[in-house]
C-alpha cells in the first residue's frame, strides 16, 4: 500500500468534527516527508489502529506521536513498532488511549486539553490598532503587539492549517497579562482564519481558567472534545 492509500484508509478512524481535527491534520495532511504511519487492520482489512510519527516545528528533537484505535491490542502493537526504545517523544492521544501508551513508555508532563471552536456567527471581535498581522514563510498566520523596547508584548498565530480547521495559539509576556492583549491578537488571527474559510480551534489546558475565559469572550464554544498531551520515552 502506497503512502496516499495508507492516508486514505486511516480516515475511517477519524471524525470530521473538532475532536479529531489535530489528528486528521498530522496523520493525513501533514507533509508526508515528515510523517511516518503505522497501521493495523483486522482480518477483513478494516483499519483498527494507527500511529503517526511526525516531525514538527514544536520540537526539533522530539517527534509528535498521534494515535487512534478502537482495538487496544492493535494500538499497542502499532505503538510498539512506532516508538524507538529510549527515545523521547511528544504525544497527543485520546484520554482513553493512555493505558496503551503507558504500557510501553514512561509519561510525563501530562495535560488534558479542551478544544474550543469558533463559528463566524458567534464571533465577538476585538479591534486593537496596535496589532500587526503577518505570515510566516511556511504560510502560518501571526498577529502581534510590540513591546516597549524590544520583543513582543503578545503574539497569536496558527500552529497548523488544514482543509477544514486551523489551531490558534497565544503567548503574552508574563508582566503584561490580564490587560486584554491576548484577546486582541487571538481576535485578529481568528478573523483571518474565518476569512480563509476555516474553523478556528483554540486548545487549552482544562485548568487554565484565564485561557478558557479568553476563548469564551471572543465567542468560542467548548466542543466537549478532550485530548491528552505530554511527553514520553519508550522503555
pLDDT at 78 over 70: yes
21 conformational bin, left if phi > 0, alpha if psi -120 to 50, beta if neither: alpha
Report pLDDT for 8: 82
* Kind plus residue range of the DSSP H or E element containing 205: strand 199-205
Residues 184, 209, single domain; the answer is yes
pLDDT in tens, 40-53: 999 998 999 999 99
39 inside domain: yes
Residues 58, 133, single domain; the answer is no
Confidence of residue 149 (pLDDT cuts 50, 70, 90): confident
Report pLDDT for 2: 63
Residues 105, 124, single domain; the answer is no
Report pLDDT for 54: 98
94 inside domain: yes
Give the whole-number percent of the chain exceeding pLDDT 90.
93
Centroid of chain to Cα 179 = 26
Residues 11, 83, single domain; the answer is yes
Q: How many domains does the chain have?
A: 2
Residues 139, 202, single domain; the answer is yes
Give the CA-trace dihedral at 154, 160, 163, 168, to 10 degrees.
-30
205 has which bridge partners? 113
148 inside domain: yes
Residues 76, 144, single domain; the answer is no
Report pLDDT for 4: 72
Residues 96-114, mean pLDDT to the nearest whole number: 98
137 inside domain: yes
| Residue 127 belongs to domain spanning | 119-219
Residues 154, 212, single domain; the answer is yes
Residues 94-116, mean pLDDT to the nearest whole number: 98
pLDDT at 192 over 70: yes
Residues 7, 108, single domain; the answer is yes
Report pLDDT for 44: 92
pLDDT at 139 over 70: yes
**Maximum pairwise Cα distance, the chain:** 64
According to DSSP H, which parts of 109-164 are helical? Answer: none
Residues 53, 153, single domain; the answer is no
Report pLDDT for 1: 61
Lowest-pLDDT range of 43-47, 99-103, 140-144, 213-217:
43-47
Residues 128-137, mean pLDDT to the nearest whole number: 97
Q: What is the mean pLDDT of the chain?
A: 96
Three-state DSSP state, 51 = strand
pTM: 0.95
186 inside domain: yes
165 inside domain: yes
Report pLDDT for 23: 97
CATH number where 75 lies: 3.40.630.30
- Residue where the block lists cell 510523517: 35
pLDDT in tens, 158-189: 999 999 999 999 999 999 999 999 999 999 99
According to DSSP H, which parts of the chain are helical? Answer: 3-9, 21-24, 72-82, 98-102, 181-195, 209-217
Q: Give the span between the Cα atoms of 56 and 28, in whole angstroms.
A: 14
Q: Under a CB-based contact definition with an 8 Å cutoff, are residues 92 and 68 in contact?
A: no
224 inside domain: no
Amino acid at each position: 500500500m502506497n503512502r496516499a492509500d495508507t492516508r486514505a484508509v486511516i480516515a475511517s478512524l477519524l471524525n470530521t468534527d473538532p475532536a479529531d481535527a489535530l489528528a486528521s491534520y498530522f496523520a493525513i495532511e501533514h507533509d508526508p516527508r515528515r510523517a511516518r504511519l503505522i497501521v493495523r487492520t483486522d482480518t477483513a482489512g478494516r483499519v483498527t489502529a494507527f500511529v503517526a510519527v511526525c516531525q514538527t516545528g514544536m520540537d526539533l528533537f522530539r517527534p509528535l506521536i498521534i494515535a487512534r484505535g478502537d482495538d487496544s491490542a492493535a494500538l499497542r502493537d502499532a505503538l510498539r513498532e512506532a516508538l524507538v526504545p529510549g527515545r523521547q517523544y511528544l504525544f497527543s492521544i485520546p484520554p482513553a488511549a493512555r493505558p496503551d501508551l503507558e504500557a510501553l513508555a514512561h509519561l510525563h508532563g501530562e495535560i488534558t486539553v479542551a478544544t474550543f471552536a469558533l463559528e463566524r456567527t458567534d464571533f465577538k471581535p476585538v479591534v486593537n490598532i496596535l496589532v500587526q498581522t503577518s505570515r510566516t514563510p511556511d504560510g502560518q498566520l501571526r498577529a502581534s503587539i510590540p513591546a516597549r523596547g524590544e520583543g513582543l508584548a503578545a503574539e497569536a498565530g496558527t500552529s497548523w492549517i488544514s482543509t477544514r480547521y486551523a489551531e490558534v495559539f497565544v503567548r503574552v509576556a508574563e508582566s503584561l497579562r490580564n490587560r486584554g492583549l491576548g484577546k486582541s491578537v487571538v481576535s485578529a488571527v481568528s478573523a483571518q482564519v474565518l476569512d480563509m474559510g476555516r474553523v478556528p480551534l483554540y486548545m487549552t489546558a482544562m485548568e487554565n481558567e484565564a485561557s478558557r475565559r479568553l476563548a469564551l469572550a471572543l465567542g468560542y464554544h467548548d466542543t466537549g472534545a478532550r485530548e491528552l498531551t505530554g511527553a514520553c520515552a519508550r522503555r
